[in-house]
Amino acid sequence: MNRICVRKNYQEKTSNFLTNKTFNMLLRCEERTLALTGQSAFFFSERGVIVNADNKHIVVGMIDPAMANAFKTFIQKKEGYIIPEVVVSEEDLLKYLEETDDEIYGLILTSDLAKKLNDLRLDYLSNVLVTLREKFPHIRIAILSSERVGHPFLAELVNMGIYNIFLRQDNNLSVQLILDVLESGKSFGEVSLFRKVDPGIPWRKMDSGPSTIKIETSNKRNHPEPKEKKQEKEKRDKQIIKREFNINFQQTETKVIGVTVQPKLILVGGAANRVGSSFFAHYLSFILAEKDISVSYLENPYRYGYTYDRYWGEGLSGNYVSPFCDFHFQRDDSTDWNYKNVYMNVLNPLKENPYDKLEFETFLKVLLSQRTPIKIVDVGVDWNNEIYLELCQMADYIFFITEPDPFLNQVLIEKRPYPSLMKDNGEWIDNLQIVMNKATYKIANHSIFNDVFDDIWILPDLNREEIFKCESERVPITNSKRLVEDLESLTNELIEMILPQEFLKKKTKTKWKFPKITVSR
């Protein structure tokens, strides 16, 4: 049995986040809006967003670029708004505001934008914010805070005059609400409760308060770039929508200290029902979690729940309901279910039915509420759902599970049922990883498949009795020593691709590689 993976060297895509498909969808959305309101005076910029004299420029600052870009996409669908920049650190925020010629209307920032992950990490962010209040008093600021009521950081925000504070655990939170509050502003009475400080939370002396900091820039306003160079830079900036960043985990987050990990958004789905996409999504979640990296697994909320029963949810978390339930019905019934370092976001089939009318904004709330560096979303076969169409544009990796079925393969090529996974020229998108379940090297290398897929990961046909034993005992397949050994090469290859090298304890010495094939149709 060839327990190997066959793949190309993956490089992060740097194509424009607003693809032609997203642009056309945005165009149709805005055309409908204008048709209803009778407005017509607008045009589109090269970035694919509405531009007019009344547009309000809002800068989004979040440490997770995938989530920031999700905010960007949603806001830019609203008429009258434009997101000129997404930043992932306080330094980037300060430099951008100092150097830009745009008239910035507002900032939407998360409290985890703070770079220094220690007890004083929010002190610096507080200093940054008071500096912005003094230097740019006209800019409106909204803060999405992960801190609870009683935290001194919230008290300092109120004291410096930042009242537009939202707690991320608030089920009524929405992007539209944030935009509305930026427009009208919260009153002092609405946020006065944040002034009450819990003395048990370590903080500097409150009477000293935050202090302004020096903004160091390249003074581009005083020394403009040559026109040619500036145009080249603008063109390059428009193409780059993913930015690298590091998270140094605290001990409460991971046991591996000093290793930087880039947050990842991973989609897993199948070419058809029953090809093993959930099986692979579970396997991927647990092998990453075993490296002491916290993982969030999000089950497809549009289908009946499976994972809850698969891992004995009624015994381990009997009163559990998914966060989809809370955000959809605006309740507060959900509880965290952490199973073997995997945070489960799954439907309880005893209490929840599929959420057929779940909106993108609600799904985004659930995604934003995850506090883990790795987020794995189980798509199933719903690739054409509007939510997953958007997430495909943000994902770091997309695993597409198929089987060695020539007729299924023929359907994929002739019918192209999932256009979001293919480029206009008929080739697969760059960040797509093809996984062939129950396959061998010889089968995967057959021209039927080799001429269609550039590279293939092989998930071998595993011992059925071992799988049944794990399923009947309701434990992950990583509990089986035999299955772990059979999957060792594949496991190492996946970890090597997704996590830093320090996490790979043992590398496979034998690899096979399919030749790179450009498929012309």
Secondary structure, 3-state, 108-149: EEEHHHCCCCCCCHHHHHHHHHHHHHHHCCCCEEEEEECCCC
Position 296 scores a pLDDT of 96
d(Cα 178, Cα 184) in Å, to the nearest integer? 10
356-409: pLDDT as tens digits = 888 888 898 888 888 888 999 999 999 999 899 989 988 999 999 999 999 998
Map tokens 């009477």 to a residue: 207
Q: Which of 103-112, 170-179, 248-257, 465-474 has the lowest mean pLDDT?
A: 248-257
Position 258 scores a pLDDT of 57
d(Cα 517, Cα 45) in Å, to the nearest integer? 36
185-238: pLDDT as tens digits = 999 999 999 999 888 887 776 555 555 555 555 444 444 444 444 444 444 443
Q: Which of 7-21, 338-352, 425-439 has the lowest mean pLDDT?
A: 7-21
Nearest alpha-carbon partner for 15 in 47, 43, 44: 47
Position 62 scores a pLDDT of 87
CB neighbours of 246 closer than 8 A, spacing ≥ 6? 260, 261, 262
Which of 191-200, 316-325, 479-488, 491-500 has maximum average pLDDT? 479-488
Structure confidence at residue 519 as a pLDDT band (50, 70, 90): very low
| pTM exceeds cut of 0.75 | no
d(Cα 334, Cα 325) in Å, to the nearest integer? 7
d(Cα 130, Cα 135) in Å, to the nearest integer? 9
The first and second tokens of residue 501, run together, are: 């090298």
3-state secondary structure of 498: helix
227-282: pLDDT as tens digits = 444 444 444 443 333 333 232 323 323 334 456 677 899 999 999 999 999 999 99
Does residue 75 have a pLDDT over 80? yes
305-335: pLDDT as tens digits = 999 999 999 888 878 999 998 888 877 777 7
Mean local confidence (pLDDT), 96-108: 92
Mean local confidence (pLDDT), 329-356: 88
Q: List Cα–Cα distances, 256 to 250, 294, 343, 371, 434, in angstroms.
A: 9, 11, 18, 17, 30
Position 468 scores a pLDDT of 96
Phi, psi dihedral angles at 171 (to 5 degrees): -70, -20
Map tokens 């007019």 to a residue: 52
Structure confidence at residue 289 as a pLDDT band (50, 70, 90): very high
3-state secondary structure of 107: strand
How many CB atoms are located within 10 Å of the residue 424 CB?
A: 9
Mean local confidence (pLDDT), 437-466: 89
Angle at 127 between CA 125 and CA 128, to 5 degrees: 65
Portion of the chain with pLDDT greater than 70, in percent? 74
44-65: pLDDT as tens digits = 333 344 445 478 999 999 887 7
The first and second tokens of residue 96, run together, are: 């951008």
Does residue 342 have a pLDDT over 70? yes
Position 212 scores a pLDDT of 56
Position 115 scores a pLDDT of 57
Rounded to the nearest integer, the mean pLDDT of the chain is: 77
DSSP H helices, 457-506, are 464-472, 481-486, 488-498
Better-scored residue on pLDDT, 220 or 498: 498
Contact present, 359 and 308 (Cβ < 8 Å): no
